[in-house]
Chain A
Amino acid sequence: MKHKNILVVTNLQKSYNKRKVVKDISFTVAEGEIFGILGPNGAGKTTTLEMIEALRPIDGGKVTLGGINVAEEPQKVKEIIGIQLQSSSFYDRLTLVELLNLFASFYGAKVNALELLSEVELTEKAKSTVDKLSGGQKQRFSIATALVNKPRVLFLDEPTTGLDPQARRHLWELIQTVQKKGITVMLTTHYMEEAELLCDRVAIMDKGEMITLDSPKNLIKNLLKKGFTKEQHVEQANLEDVFIDLTGKGLRE
């Protein structure tokens, strides 16, 4: 694990109409790691993420991101993070290049739009509008817009939901490339294999509480230590492996 914590969350709380949706959560994220939050729908993953991103007021507790107190200086925090939202969209009638330039202007930055598009493998779509993109392409473009300000932390809220297996694998590779550049990635997901494969550490949330937090390997090890056994299976592959074997890894877009 890396030594320096880029994100420190202490006793974070949020209530809607007196119902506590995030209850007293504390954790840290180290610089350069991929940190995953797992949990069923309504567990409070998105709310937690949006409080950290300065998109939602914090009811209680404290969040420090890159040394900045999020509640006190939300604008400053937005400067150093990139966000891919679960349900959002982009202006219509503008091309990908125009949109990237527009987003860069929000940070007072200049960006090489074509270079950024080639990083997310959308070079040939440079002159298209967002509505002409497939689901996977849209998610990759969304990540590109979140990278215009060279953020220190990239937030991805369920980035692979609704994508086919090929597009999902492709996005995993992209997330790993982002990590190699030294950017910390924080993501939420429903997919266990995604968390297992991508994340250095995962936190599991349920009913607004953080139940556990460790590396995927340790979590599994601990479960087995408790004497957990699963119905024995000899196959070293699953249906998805069959699907990928038959249809190939190539992207369908």
Chain B
Amino acid sequence: MLTLRWSRDPVALFFIFLFPLIFLLVFGAMSRNDSVNFNVAVINHSDTAFATTFEGQLKELKAFKVKDVKSFDDAKEKMGRGELDSILELPAGFGRPDDKNVPAGNVVVYFEESNPTTGQTVASVLQQVLDEANQTLTASTDPLAVEQKATKTTNLTRFDYTLAGIVGFSILSLAIFGMANGFPADKKTGALRRLRATPLRASQLILATALEYLFVGLLSVASMFLVASLLFDFSMRGSYLTLAVFVLIGIFCLFGFGLSIGGWAKNENQSAPLSNLVAFPMMFLSGVFFPTFLMPQWLQNLSQFLPLTPIIDGIRLITTENASLLDLGPELGIIAAWTVLIYVLAIRVFRWE
């Protein structure tokens, strides 16, 4: 019945389906771009044919995005503003044949002093190009060489790892921002006051609300996975059934937080700040926006016990490592403990009006 009521609310529909999808599209697009690109400018002072060909080759390179600049000074200014990562200069006489009748010269790589890594990377990419050119020009093969091959052992993209965080975030916002305002709104109209006059208990109302919306939450998560598969070539390593069961458990747990806030709050003025207070630390500490291993150790230890962390970890382990529910014992343990705690709290602090 509540689902029915909800389905007639266009605003709720937007927040439950479109909002997570927009979020998915934005973050998905950001994390899909996983090849490294450098914005470079090429300043060619040489008039040799070799230099011109070489400049053309640079433009073909995937690692470089060659930008047009008017002059060396213009390029320097752009690098200062961060529009360029590096400037490549072909000095006058670059490519002129040397005494062995082979084109010779040095490419100068300019980079921001404050950003030596970029300079080194650009230089090493360039070195590779030059090595290849050297080999063709001298028509000889170095007897010993290092062959570089990038491997993706599991064929998983960065997106596949990011997705768990995006899903976790949308479950969190659905559970807290979505659920925390329902009860206060019904208190304002007096609808809950009327329910109180029936034998319905607070515990029944809270559990019924959570169970009815579970289905909605699952639908929302399913739509995210559908879009992830269609648009982002998401590759699923685990079982969708395991994922569905795990997600349901996770949603049920987080719903408890929204329902506690909404059940306690007398109106939206109380529920809104409290929602933020609960949601934001979880969002930042549970690996939604950046991996937890970047945090200091004590914070990592703490974040491990937040309810959202095991949910995101669990989803990630299922989708990337085909974990079973048994493998997820520790995660499920933390989630179960939170679930019991938060629902007891929700029933305790509930107010009808």
Contact = CB atoms under 8 A, between A and B. Distances in A.
Chains A and B belong together in one complex: yes
Interface of A: 53, 55, 75, 78-79, 83, 85, 87-94, 98, 101-103, 105-107, 145, 149
Given A75-B199, A103-B198, A98 B4 contact: yes
Given A103-B198, A106-B198, A107-B199, A88 B4 contact: no
Contact of B190 (A55, A78, A88, A98): A88
Q: Which of B9, B191, B194, B200 has the most CB of A within 10 A?
A: B194
Given A93-B8, A94-B4, A98-B4, A107 B190 contact: no
B196 interface: yes
B195 A106 contact: yes
B276 to A, nearest CB: 26
Contacts of A102: 1
A78 B198 contact: yes
Contact of A107 (B8, B194, B196, B198): B198
B1 A106 contact: no
Contact of A55 (B4, B189, B191, B197): B197
Contacts of B1: 94, 98, 101-102, 105
Contacts of B195: 106
Contact of A85 (B8, B186, B190): B190
Given A92-B5, A93-B5, A87 B190 contact: yes
A78 B199 contact: yes
Interface string B186-209: 100111011111111100000000
A75 B186 CA distance: 22
Given A94-B5, A102-B1, A85 B198 contact: no
Given A75-B201, A98-B1, 6 more contacts: A79-B199, A85-B197, A91-B186, A103-B198, A106-B200, A145-B194
A128 to B, nearest CB: 13
B196 A55 contact: yes
A140 B1 CA distance: 22
Interface residues of B, number: 18
A87 B4 contact: no
A75 B195 CA distance: 13
Given A93-B5, A94-B1, A101-B1, A88 B193 contact: yes
B5 A78 contact: no
Interface of B: 1, 4-5, 8-9, 186, 189-191, 193-201
- By Cβ-Cβ distance, the 10 closest A-B pairs, closest first, are A83-B197, A88-B190, A88-B194, A89-B190, A89-B189, A106-B198, A93-B8, A78-B199, A106-B200, A88-B193
Contacts of A53: 197
Contacts of B199: 75, 78-79, 106-107
Contacts of B190: 85, 87-89
B200 A88 contact: no
A91 B196 CA distance: 13
A134 B199 CA distance: 28
B194 A90 contact: yes
Given A85-B194, A106-B195, A91 B200 contact: no
A106 B189 CA distance: 20
Contacts of A87: 190, 193
B193 A78 contact: no
B189 A92 contact: yes
A91 B191 contact: yes
Contacts of A101: 1
21 contacts: A55-B197, A75-B201, A79-B199, A85-B193, A85-B194, A87-B193, A88-B191, A88-B194, A89-B189, A89-B191, A89-B193, A89-B194, A92-B189, A92-B191, A93-B8, A94-B4, A94-B5, A102-B1, A106-B195, A106-B199, A149-B198
